[in-house]
Structure 1
Amino acid sequence: MREVVVREVEEKGRAVLALVPPVWRSLPRRPLGTAAGVGLALAAVPRLVPGGTGAAPALLLLRSAAVAFALGLAFLLDDPARNVTAAVPIRRVVRTGLRTALVVPLAALCWTAALLLVPGSVRPPAGGLTVEAATLGVLALTGAVAAVRFAEEPRPGAAVARTSVAGAGLVALLAAPLPERWALFVAADSPGWAVAHQRWAVLLALTLAAGAVLLPEPLRRHRLRVLGHR
């Protein structure tokens, strides 16, 4: 029994490794590269402007860079061959996890570079701002996961990006009249910075949980596909 389990694990491992090259080739390089370029260009502004910028503009630029990176991640699950790859014996959880594992290290590298591009004298606290960037990225990825789960569109990235921008604008509009103790976007020198990022951490955890629920393929669709092969 143990040998059978080990053999099955080895076979699945080989199948996943065999999937790495085609998944790498199918990554949406153009939107991901554009988002990375825009984000890094925004982060570089404090060094390019004569005399530099103040702390508040630097914070705004880094937040804008985080939004740019997140919008790029909204395109991560775009795959023109989705109708073909859906029939492979590798579950969607694994295929999506593989795409994410290939791109997230590059996204983390871009974010680190963005932080380092801002001069240390005006750079906001990196920890809190990284939580913001991670939350925005996970929100975009969760939107892409939801689009793949509930629609057959092979390239939902553009719609997810538009929805993300509209949703962020609506949240900002609704949050504007709220007192500062409930704000998410606070100044780096605000006494509420730490508390605000506790709320960001809660939002990140909730978004991760929602993404985990949406990630598996619906059982009904899986059953219909199995019946179709019979």
Structure 2
Amino acid sequence: MNPESGSPQTGCLRCGSCCEQGGPALHTEDLALLESGSLHPEQLVTVRRGELALPPLGTRPEPVQAEFLKIQGRDGSWCCCFFDRKNSGCTVYDHRPLACRVLECWEPGPLLEIAGRDLLDRFACIAADDPLLTLVRFHESQCPCPDLSCLSDLLQDPASREARLHALSRQVQLDLMLRDRAVREHGLSVALELFYFGRPLFQLLRPLGILARESGQGIVLHYEGP
């Protein structure tokens, strides 16, 4: 419904709401945008399996079932980095991803048809001879993202909480160590780190009320509740 006229909405009002809520997930069709140089890896973030993410047109975060790439946010938010607030427009409109092309907030059918299907992940974009590929695969095998929804429920049990936090602390430490190695050995920027490794595990744990602190023994996690 058009809020100004009260008539049924049939076109984009350029309100920017969809862009403010977050950049789109990429689909295999969008690989062509990377191959042509219309999109670059440093503009993307890997959302790993187990993370909590807002589904298309959803209102509550849900566990991600399969890894995908997403346009990075900005200013500490998920607002699409290509959204031009001043002009309520898209700075890459002519080369926008598939999800943006089919999105019609007044008629969600086309977007829902592609949601969760044929998603593009980082391994489809990393060249076989990329010197970081081995480290990325090792990181994924040793530091997988836990199912954060399930973890949140498990932390409600005080009897097992400390043991779980201890195990998570070791995983957070290794996650940061491998990222630091990538920076030292390959000069990886923060933006490219988000593409190759996704967000650091300690950041993913924060919304669950798990905070990381430095200690003489390394990273220690504390549970302060959601």
- Flag whether TM exceeds 0.5 (same fold): no
**Which structure: larger Rg?**
1
TM-score computed with the length of structure 2 as normaliser: 0.28
Q: Provide the TM-score with structure 1 as the length reference.
A: 0.28
Larger % of strand: which?
A: 2
